[in-house]
Amino acid sequence: QKEVEQDPGPLSVPEGAIVSLNCTYSNSAFQYFMWYRQYSRKGPELLMYTYSSGNKEDGRFTAQVDKSSKYISLFIRDSQPSDSATYLCAMSATPAGANSKLTFGKGITLSVRP
Amino acid sequence: NAGVTQTPKFQVLKTGQSMTLQCAQDMNHEYMSWYRQDPGMGLRLIHYSVGAGITDQGEVPNGYNVSRSTTEDFPLRLLSAAPSQTSVYFCASSPWTGNNEQFFGPGTRLTVL
């Protein structure tokens, strides 16, 4: 079993839909959870960052972490065509510093239809 | 700030050739890393460095060498290119403090024939 599993997709939704993207993980040491967004032919960029369990909201985006279930989610409200991208979850057991290696999910490609 | 820069953007090699992918950052980040991204495989860590003179292997290091002589530069060398190394390569950097945000370069698309 891979350390991080992500729904394979692709996912296509109409504009305005609520999107739910999910990852599960097996390493209970993970405490730092991130979502990266990657537009076509570009490098990934950090979208959301959370520490331990709980929710974090930033505009139309909400990141949710459930450590007891080893499950994280990213919700996108009122999805826009500009949200069309690949979304990768990433996790780490340590904060920034010498051992801040990230383990990534495989990514899911989202397409928002106008 | 230019952020993380990578050269070249595209490269085609023949099997057995060697080459160096360049990566530079101007943010004074201590941590730098190389990933490869393949369809259905996500981002896989090749090598990383926690500072000048210090490097270590990631998940898929075979066939690649790195060195870190300065804080700014972290080149990736392919010793004898193989078709299995056809991929998109991303360099990333991260500061020592703060969250774990890694800043990625634009990538190098490599094809090995």
Q: What is the pLDDT of residues B19-47, one digit of tens each?
A: 999 999 999 999 999 999 998 888 999 99
Provide the mean pLDDT of chain B. Answer: 93
CB contact under 8 A, A96 and B40: no
- How many Å separate Cα A93 from the centre of its chain? 16
The pLDDT value recorded for residue A51 is 86
For chain A, the residues whose C-beta falls within 8 A of a C-beta of chain B are: 6, 8, 32, 34, 41-46, 49, 51, 88, 90, 92, 95-98, 100-102, 104-107
The pLDDT value recorded for residue A25 is 96
The pLDDT value recorded for residue A91 is 92
Pairing outcome for strands A45-51 and A32-38: antiparallel
CA distance readout (Å), B3 to A24, A98, B29, B35, B46: 31, 20, 10, 17, 21
What three-state secondary structure class fits A65?
A: strand
Tally C-beta pairs within 8 A across A and B. Answer: 67
pLDDT classification of B106: cutoffs 50, 70, 90 = very high
Q: Which residue would you say has higher pLDDT here, B41 or B9? A: B9
Residues of chain A with pLDDT > 90, as a percent, come to 76
Q: Which residue would you say has higher pLDDT here, A78 or B97? A: A78
The H or E element that residue B67 is part of is none
The pLDDT value recorded for residue B80 is 96
Pairing outcome for strands A61-66 and A54-58: antiparallel
* Rounded CA separation A96/A65 (Å): 19
* Rounded CA separation B24/B3 (Å): 8
Whether A7 contacts A88, CB under 8 Å: no
Q: Which residues of chain A have pLDDT under 50?
A: none
The pLDDT value recorded for residue B95 is 85
Main-chain dihedrals φ then ψ at residue A78, nearest 5 degrees: 45, 55
Nearest to A8 by CA among A114, A112, A105: A105
The amino acid occupying position B31 is Y
The pLDDT value recorded for residue A100 is 66
Whether B37 contacts A42, CB under 8 Å: no
CB contact under 8 A, B94 and A96: yes
pLDDT classification of B1: cutoffs 50, 70, 90 = confident
Q: Is A95 left (phi over 0), alpha (psi -120 to 50) or beta?
A: beta
